[in-house]
Amino acid sequence: MQDPKHREYRVALLGYGLGGACFHAPLIATTPGLRVATIVTSNPERQAEASRKHPAARVVADATWVWRNAAAHDVVVISTPNRTHVPLALAALAAGLPVVVDKPFAPTAAAAREVIAAASARRLWVSPYHNRRWDSECLTARRLIEEGQIGRVLRFESRLERWRPLPKGGWREQGAPEEAGGLLYDLGSHLIDQALYLFGPVSHVYAEIDTRRAGLAVDDDVFLAITHQSGVRSHLWTSYLAAHGGPRMRVLGSSGAYFKQHPDPQEAALRSGHLPTETGWGEEAPEHWGTLSDGLRERPVRSEPGAYQQYYARVVATLRGDAPVPVDPADAVAGLEVIEKAQRSIGARGTT
């Protein structure tokens, strides 16, 4: 009989667009204890690419094949259009399989609670894929805060900005509520999760949510001001019209500050086909490190290596019964509640 501590868990990956192909499949395939068993995509070109990169995996066109063959799988990973996250998660749970769900976990906090309740009723687990908790700058900021090098944190600033003056089209730019399109749900989900992860629950949310590019039905320029119950204030920016990006992160405290211009290198590495098994994964060149200041002196501070692979290492530990889920689904609910507060704050001011 196979030792459960050394068994290989079989993953059904639903979706093979950018998310599935770059941010899930490579991490799953290189995580000891996991195997990409099935990839679901109906796109012929993506099917061919999936077969080429993961020749040992089955490639099927529809998730119903996975539900009919649930016994051949141990966990489902959902990286499909946002509108499908909840129905696919519920279907996976009904088939008896635990689930990882990419962001946004659901279009509403109520729908997220429905998924959590379904998992609880079946004694299964579900976890949101909030991988940017393992961004280099987030890990470094957390380390400096825990070491007391910044003092009592007063303000947190974080940006994920892009320069895309022309819309690309696709489901992320569709305006129906069930699509959960736009930047607030997309990159905003990461920014909000990092703020909640570092500084806890919120009491107030102010938002500026705009559509700047012509012909769009969704937001593409977002600013959030969050007041945490701890007293920390988080200012979060995401935009597709940032021809000059601001600092990726700045943390101001009672005795110092940490600021960093350059973003974590893992996204660019994954998009370029690199793998976490390569030497130096997630490490930054010293010229890209952040800076620690006490108001009089500044010095570079070593960046913690980014570590997206830790998410799936924790999935293995969860499947073995050795650890809780990598990210608590209640955290996804909290993030969605912030999004809904942001949307309500816009409505209350009568703006668009």
Query: What pLDDT shows up at residue 335?
Result: 98
Q: Are residues 77 and 199 in the same domain?
A: no
Could you list the residue range(s) of the whole structural domain that residue 141 is in? 136-306
348 assigned to some structural domain: no
Residue listed under structure tokens 């079946």: 122
Q: What band does 346 get if pLDDT is binned at 50, 70 and 90?
A: confident
Which residues 6+ apart lie within 8 Å of 10 measured at CB? Answer: 35, 37, 38, 72, 73, 74, 75
State the CATH number of the domain containing residue 239: 3.30.360.10
Nearest-angstrom CA–CA distance, 266 and 306: 7
Question: Does residue 290 contact residue 251 with C-beta atoms inside 8 Å?
Answer: no
Residues 179 and 316 placed together within one structural domain of the fold? no
Strands (DSSP E) found in the chain: 9-14, 34-40, 58-60, 75-78, 99-102, 126-129, 153-161, 202-210, 221-228, 233-239, 249-253, 257-260, 290-293, 298-301
What is the rounded end-to-end Cα distance, in angstroms, of the chain? 61
Categorize the per-residue pLDDT at 348 as very low, low, confident or very high, splitting at 50, 70 and 90.
low
Asked, for residue 330, whether it belongs to a domain, the answer is no
CA distance 325 to 317: 8
Looking at the fold, whether 254 and 287 belong to one and the same domain comes out as: yes
**Is 244 contained in some domain?**
yes
Answer whether 54's CB lies under 8 Å from 27's CB.
Answer: no
Classify the phi-psi angles of 101: left when phi > 0, otherwise alpha if psi is within -120 to 50, otherwise beta: beta
Indicate whether 175 and 255 sit together in one domain: yes
Residues 166 and 226 in one domain: yes
Does residue 349 lie in a domain region? Answer: no
Within a domain: 39: yes
> Do 256 and 320 sit in the same domain of this protein?
no
The confidence score (pLDDT) of residue 5 equals 67
Per-residue pLDDT tens over the stretch 166-187? 998 888 888 899 999 999 999 9
Query: What is the structure's pLDDT at 130?
Result: 98
Task: Examine the domain organization and report whether 255 and 302 are in the same domain.
Answer: yes
Return the pLDDT at 347.
72
Same domain, 174 and 293: yes
Classify residue 325 by its DSSP letter.
Answer: -
- Half-sphere exposure for 229 (CA within 13 Å, toward CB): 5
> Total structural domains in the chain?
2
Residue type, position 120, single letter? S
Specify whether 249 is located in the same domain as 316: no
Crossing angle of helices 85-94 and 109-121, rounded to 10°: 10
Same domain, 100 and 221: no
Separation of alpha carbons 108 and 255, rounded Å: 39
Rounded Cα gap, residues 312 and 325, in angstroms: 10
Average pLDDT over residues 155-171: 93
pLDDT digits (tens, 9 = 90+) for 187-221: 999 999 999 999 999 999 999 999 999 989 999 99
pLDDT digits (tens, 9 = 90+) for 23-60: 999 999 999 999 999 999 999 999 999 999 999 999 99
Q: Is residue 345 in a domain? A: no
| 45 and 176 together in one domain | no
Residue 98 lies in a domain: yes
Who contacts 64 (Cβ-Cβ below 8 Å, separation ≥6)?
none
Q: Give per-residue pLDDT as tens, 299-314.
A: 999 999 999 999 999 9
Residue with tokens 């192909």: 21
Distances (CA, A) of 212 to 174, 220, 345: 15, 6, 19
Average pLDDT over residues 268-294: 97
pLDDT of residue 1: 43
| pLDDT of the residue at 351 | 45
11 has pLDDT over 70: yes
Select from 193, 177, 272 the least CA-distant residue to 238.
193
Residue of 224, 98, 101, 106 lying closest to 160 (CA atoms): 224
3-state DSSP assignment of residue 169:
coil
Write the CATH number for 18: 3.40.50.720
- Indicate the pTM of the whole model: 0.95
254/295 same-domain check = yes
**Summary mean pLDDT of the chain:** 95
- The answer to whether the beta carbons of residues 112 and 106 sit under 8 Å apart is yes
Please give the average per-residue pLDDT across 225-232, as a whole number: 98
Residue 343, in any domain of the structure:
no
